[in-house]
């Protein structure tokens, strides 16, 4: 192939080294598919002396100063896989302003600054692609932006964090949260500081990106109600299984009257829901469109090779655009300004677990309190006796407004016969489940 497109790679760790390896290993095949040779010419690293899993691609120089890449007029494509907003944000802005195309796997950056950067790319006839930012090796951004663009997307539900899904799978098997988290850390699924995963912030960034694309309306992580898994009990997962349900950390985005509903929290799902069978570190995204119906995307949502696969796919797309003279065609597609409804206005079913004194009339008092706030109960089960005079009640409500449920629970928690409200978990279930 006569023409060569040069790539500058920012970061050569778990993902970056696999990107370099794939581009070099499949160079001939990629060249045939693009109509040009794609060559990594420069690699930015923090420590040039550090040993690496994969060697630097042949002919590429190792740089420790970003200016060597940003100021190189021969560099066509910048690939950012370092993560974090700073300094990546400034570097990507500078690259786009110089007309360089950018591929990034940086979910935080795209979630917060994606709209601005997409418009900047369009204004400079450059491309900005970010397939790997949401689901690693699972292709979902491209389908939403292109293949499904003729649909009105009504719902997205995703298991988009492999760490929490692994932990919940272990808890389903009877392991405590603490033991499951330690095992996830030992296996490399969780960081030493796991808060971004277990507190739901990673999933919130990802669902905000998906919601922005699907609804054509800007959603940022600050708009997303976020609740993690650290307060879940293995009792709740066991009760869910007994009732034919499962609990997953779900990123949810759906159209509702008056706006869009976007949130992340542990969610009760029917056992036959497509997401219910997704186990361990695997991810899945469930989409409903008005024309296409229901779709499910499943696979490895993290890891060096799966993420690098998505990055390389973006590199190839950008290279094809470059060869066709069709770069910079798409800026931010958030043309609407839909209201993200606050959590108090959310309407959902709820799973509630309450410890009570085992006395006559307790359930009647609880049901009466719910009734005063227009919350009706679909199921009530006495699961076990905790002590001689105490029992545990599991209740599932019909669809109710969150604010009303919380007001009712405040009153219930103050009852003399109630020891404490142990769990509140939102549910995506139908009346028949």
Active site members: 206
* Interatomic CA distance for residues 60 and 43, integer angstroms: 7
CB 5 within 8 A of CB 322: yes
Task: Please count the residues of the chain.
Answer: 433
Query: Angle, to 10 degrees, between the axis of helix 16-25 and the axis of helix 304-324?
Result: 60
* Interatomic CA distance for residues 383 and 395, integer angstroms: 10
Dig out the tokens for 241 from the structure. Answer: 């299984």
Residue 373 in 3-state DSSP? coil
* Interatomic CA distance for residues 1 and 54, integer angstroms: 26
Dig out the tokens for 420 from the structure. Answer: 């404490």
Residue 306 in 3-state DSSP? helix
Residues 6+ apart with CB under 8 A from 1: 31, 32, 34, 35, 36, 37
* Interatomic CA distance for residues 356 and 367, integer angstroms: 13
């Amino acid at each position: 192939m006569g023409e060569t497109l040069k790539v500058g790679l920012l970061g050569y760790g778990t993902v970056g080294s696999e990107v370099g390896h794939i581009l070099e290993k499949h160079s001939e095949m990629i060249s045939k598919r693009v109509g040009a040779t794609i060559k990594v010419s420069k690699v930015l690293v923090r420590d040039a002396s550090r040993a690496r899993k994969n060697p630097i691609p042949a002919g590429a120089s190792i740089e420790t100063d970003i200016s060597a890449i940003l100021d190189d007029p021969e560099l066509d494509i910048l690939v950012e896989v370092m993560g974090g907003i700073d300094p990546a944000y400034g570097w990507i802005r500078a690259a786009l302003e110089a007309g360089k195309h950018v591929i990034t796997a940086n979910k935080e950056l795209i979630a917060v600054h994606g709209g601005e950067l997409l418009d900047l790319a369009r204004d400079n006839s450059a491309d900005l692609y970010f397939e790997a930012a949401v689901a690693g090796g699972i292709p979902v951004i491209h389908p939403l932006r292109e293949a499904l663009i003729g649909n009105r997307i009504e719902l997205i539900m995703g298991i988009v964090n492999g760490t929490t899904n692994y932990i919940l799978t272990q808890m389903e098997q009877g392991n405590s949260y603490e033991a499951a988290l330690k095992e996830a850390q030992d296996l490399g699924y969780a960081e030493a500081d796991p808060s971004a995963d277990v507190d739901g912030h990673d999933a919130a960034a990802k669902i905000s990106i998906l919601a922005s694309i699907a609804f054509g309306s800007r959603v940022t992580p600050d708009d997303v109600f976020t609740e993690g898994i650290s307060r879940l009990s293995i009792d709740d997962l066991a009760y869910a299984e007994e009732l034919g349900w499962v609990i997953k950390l779900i990123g949810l985005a759906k159209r509702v009257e008056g706006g869009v509903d976007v949130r992340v929290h542990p969610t009760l799902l029917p056992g036959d829901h497509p997401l219910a069978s997704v186990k361990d570190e695997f991810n899945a995204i469930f989409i409903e469109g008005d024309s296409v119906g229901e779709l499910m995307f499943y696979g490895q949502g993290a890891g060096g090779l799966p993420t690098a696969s998505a990055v390389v796919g973006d590199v190839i797309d950008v290279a094809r655009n470059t060869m066709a003279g069709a770069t910079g065609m798409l800026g931010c597609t958030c043309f609407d300004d839909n209201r993200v409804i606050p959590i108090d206005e959310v309407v959902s079913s709820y799973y509630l677990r309450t410890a009570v004194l085992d006395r006559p009339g307790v359930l009647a008092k609880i049901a009466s309190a719910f009734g005063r706030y227009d919350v009706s109960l679909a199921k009530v089960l006495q699961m076990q006796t905790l002590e001689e005079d105490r029992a545990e009640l599991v209740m599932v409500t019909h669809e109710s407004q969150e604010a009303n449920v919380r007001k009712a629970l405040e009153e219930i928690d103050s009852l003399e016969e109630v020891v404490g409200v142990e769990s509140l978990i939102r549910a995506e279930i139908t009346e028949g489940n």
